[in-house]
């Protein structure tokens, strides 16, 4: 038995994997990874895979990065963890100072959580609680965009719009207001991204005009709706949204969990609109992809609404056991050092241009509706019919064929439904980008060549995090 098989069998006997129909593994081999280095992952039989999805969008400076490794090693000998209520430590103070400096002016307070979803819970609770504290208890609903994704916990799911979840868990979810997304995939032929995103804002304006008295906050993923298929829109939408939130007295929550730290071409996506949210949610790349950590930044105005005598019962009494973990903060500090020392945002421009040129030919593919890009995220949307943009039925699992082909060729490309995308670590080389483009082209040819016969239901599920 190969070492891969050995670990796969032991794994499948005891584990339950995330976002996985476990029965798939009767056919689909699991890939046990022994080590990682830079953009490469290596399995137990010595086969290497180029990590084109940054291990679920978290890794930015490669696996086993010597600079991040060293910082964590130093920290672990000093202090591994301490309660953050009543106590503090150097890495969390330094990280907070740097995040306040790095993010748009006016975000002056940092509250920590353990992962993206819990960070969204913090922002939602803080916004609701703020309005309660300032005597506006009617403001308790949240406005979200169609096709959005904000995480897996129940409130985070409530503000998301992934059919698979909103159907299955509907009975558990909060009552939110949903507005059509500015997603430019659906813009009319010949219309610019900017004109489409601007036109789509009319729906948001109407919703806020009608409901602002009962709305606590609007929450959006700025510029890229990630799990919804790497759908993209123009920064003008965020400019209009900031202005409207101010006008209607509603908070703006920006979920930069996936897009923060350079993914859209700027350090934070909101910089491209020149706006500052009331709550900024960060996680994923915050620690370079090493350890779970999330930060919710907010304004002094919000902070002051909670600041009072204990007996007023206005405090934000939310907590997670590992809040502000020193090892995670140390990894984040090393990550921010690399951004600064290596001038990463500037250097990424060359890589983004190479991603565009290496995949440009795919726009002419008979089963590709669109190749779209925002900074270091590039997506290729496979369709059954190019002219009408008719999607493949989800049951055909076309993306899975691309995934399997890529594994054979030594790349980890994990499509979202029929959307093949690159979200690579920033330490990828131009030659490695060319390799990915080649593998993706071959995979798309294979996946779109054959007709697939499956029993079709009538439900349309987007391919959230799932190569299905």
Residues at the contact surface with ligand PLP, assessed by CB under 6 A = 115-117, 120, 149-152, 221, 226-227, 255, 257-258, 283
E-strand stretches of 69-184: 107-113, 141-145, 177-179
Phi, psi of 451 (to 5 degrees): -90, 145
Q: Which is nearer to ligand PLP, 39 or 258 (CB)?
A: 258
Q: Which is nearer to ligand PLP, 225 or 441 (CB)?
A: 225
Is 255 marked within a binding site? Answer: yes
Q: Which is nearer to ligand PLP, 115 or 374 (CB)?
A: 115
The nearest distance, CB 414 to ligand PLP, in angstroms, is 14
The nearest distance, CB 206 to ligand PLP, in angstroms, is 25
Is 25 marked within a binding site? Answer: no
| Nearest Cα residue to 328 out of 287, 384, 279 | 287
State how far the alpha carbon of 395 is from the alpha carbons of 404, 417, 418, 460, in Å.
Answer: 16, 10, 11, 9
Q: Which is nearer to ligand PLP, 124 or 371 (CB)?
A: 124
The nearest distance, CB 465 to ligand PLP, in angstroms, is 8
Give the distance from CA 455 to its chain's centroid: 32
d(CA 239, CA 230): 21
The nearest distance, CB 240 to ligand PLP, in angstroms, is 20
**DSSP-derived 3-state class of residue 409:** helix
Is 414 marked within a binding site? Answer: yes
Q: Which is nearer to ligand PLP, 95 or 444 (CB)?
A: 95
Torsion of CA 254, 260, 262, 263, to 10 degrees: -90
Is 149 marked within a binding site? Answer: yes
Q: Which is nearer to ligand PLP, 144 or 441 (CB)?
A: 144
Is 320 marked within a binding site? Answer: yes
Q: Regarding beta strands 279-282 and 251-255, do their DSSP bridges make them parallel or antiparallel, or are they unpaired?
A: parallel
The nearest distance, CB 160 to ligand PLP, in angstroms, is 8
Is 319 marked within a binding site? Answer: yes
Angle ∠(451,453,459) on CA atoms, nearest 5: 110
Is 35 marked within a binding site? Answer: no
Report, in this order, helix, strand and coil percent for the chain, each rounded to 5. 45, 15, 40
| Nearest Cα residue to 228 out of 116, 151, 286, 315 | 151
The nearest distance, CB 94 to ligand PLP, in angstroms, is 23
Which residue is closest to ligand PLP by CB? Answer: 116
The nearest distance, CB 123 to ligand PLP, in angstroms, is 11
CB 115 within 8 A of CB 150: no
Q: Which is nearer to ligand PLP, 331 or 362 (CB)?
A: 331
d(CA 141, CA 408): 47
CB 62 within 8 A of CB 429: no
Sign of CA dihedral 117, 180, 237, 377: positive
Is 56 marked within a binding site? Answer: yes
Is 112 marked within a binding site? Answer: no
Residue 167 burial (CB count, 10 A)? 10
Is 197 marked within a binding site? Answer: no
CB 193 within 8 A of CB 184: yes
- List, in order, residues 6 or more apart from 312 with CB less than 8 Å away: none
| Nearest Cα residue to 418 out of 361, 372, 464, 375 | 464
Residue 286 burial (CB count, 10 A)? 29
Q: Which is nearer to ligand PLP, 325 or 432 (CB)?
A: 325
The nearest distance, CB 147 to ligand PLP, in angstroms, is 12
d(CA 440, CA 362): 9
- List, in order, residues 6 or more apart from 368 with CB less than 8 Å away: 362, 380, 381, 382, 383, 386, 444
Give the position of tokens 């990424």: 348
The nearest distance, CB 445 to ligand PLP, in angstroms, is 29
Q: Which is nearer to ligand PLP, 399 or 443 (CB)?
A: 399
The nearest distance, CB 220 to ligand PLP, in angstroms, is 9
Q: Which is nearer to ligand PLP, 91 or 116 (CB)?
A: 116
- Known binding-site residue numbers for pyridoxal 5'-phosphate: 116-117, 255, 320-321
- Known binding-site residue numbers: 56, 116-117, 149, 255, 284, 319-321, 414
- Known binding-site residue numbers for substrate: 56, 149, 284, 319, 414
């Amino acid at each position: 038995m190969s070492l891969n098989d050995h670990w796969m069998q032991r794994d499948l006997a005891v584990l339950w994997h995330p976002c996985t129909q476990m029965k798939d593994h009767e056919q689909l081999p699991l890939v046990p990874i022994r080590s990682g280095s830079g953009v490469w992952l290596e399995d137990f039989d010595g086969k290497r895979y180029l990590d084109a999805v940054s291990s679920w969008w978290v890794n930015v400076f490669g696996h086993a990065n010597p600079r991040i490794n060293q910082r964590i090693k130093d920290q672990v000998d000093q202090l591994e963890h301490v309660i953050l209520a009543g106590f503090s430590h150097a890495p969390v103070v330094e990280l907070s100072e740097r995040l306040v400096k790095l993010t748009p002016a006016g975000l002056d307070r940092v509250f920590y959580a353990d992962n993206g979803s819990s960070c969204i819970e913090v922002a939602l609770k803080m916004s609701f609680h703020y309005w309660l504290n300032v005597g506006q208890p009617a403001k308790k609903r949240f406005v979200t965009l169609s096709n959005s994704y904000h995480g897996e916990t129940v409130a985070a799911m409530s503000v998301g719009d992934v059919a698979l979840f909103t159907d299955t868990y509907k009975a558990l979810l909060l009552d939110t207001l949903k507005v059509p997304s500015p997603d430019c995939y659906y813009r009319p032929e010949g219309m610019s991204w900017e004109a489409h995103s601007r036109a789509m804002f009319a729906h948001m304006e109407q919703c806020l005009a009608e409901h602002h008295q009962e709305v606590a906050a609007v929450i959006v993923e700025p510029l890229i709706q990630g799990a919804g298929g790497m759908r993209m829109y123009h920064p003008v939408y965020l400019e209009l949204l900031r202005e409207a939130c101010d006008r209607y007295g509603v908070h703006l929550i920006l979920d930069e969990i996936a897009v923060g730290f350079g993914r859209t071409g700027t350090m934070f996506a909101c910089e491209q609109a020149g706006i500052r949210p009331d709550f900024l949610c960060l996680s994923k790349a915050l620690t370079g992809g090493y350890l779970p950590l999330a930060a919710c930044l907010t304004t002094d105005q919000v902070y002051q609404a909670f600041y009072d005598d204990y007996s007023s019962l206005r405090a934000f009494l939310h907590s997670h056991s590992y809040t502000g973990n020193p090892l995670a903060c140390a990894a984040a500090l090393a990550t921010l050092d690399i951004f600064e020392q290596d001038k990463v945002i500037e250097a990424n421009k060359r890589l983004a241009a190479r991603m565009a040129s290496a995949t440009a030919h795919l726009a002419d593919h008979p089963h590709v509706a669109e190749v779209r890009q925002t900074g270091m995220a590039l997506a290729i949307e496979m369709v059954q019919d190019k002219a009408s943009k008719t999607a493949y039925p989800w049951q055909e699992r076309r993306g899975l064929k691309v995934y399997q082909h890529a594994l054979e060729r030594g790349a980890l490309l994990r499509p979202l439904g029929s959307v093949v995308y690159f979200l690579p670590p920033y330490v990828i080389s131009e030659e490695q980008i060319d390799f990915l483009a080649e593998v993706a082209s071959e995979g798309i040819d294979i996946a779109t060549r054959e007709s697939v016969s499956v029993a079709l239901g009538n439900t349309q599920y987007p391919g959230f995090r799932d190569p299905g």
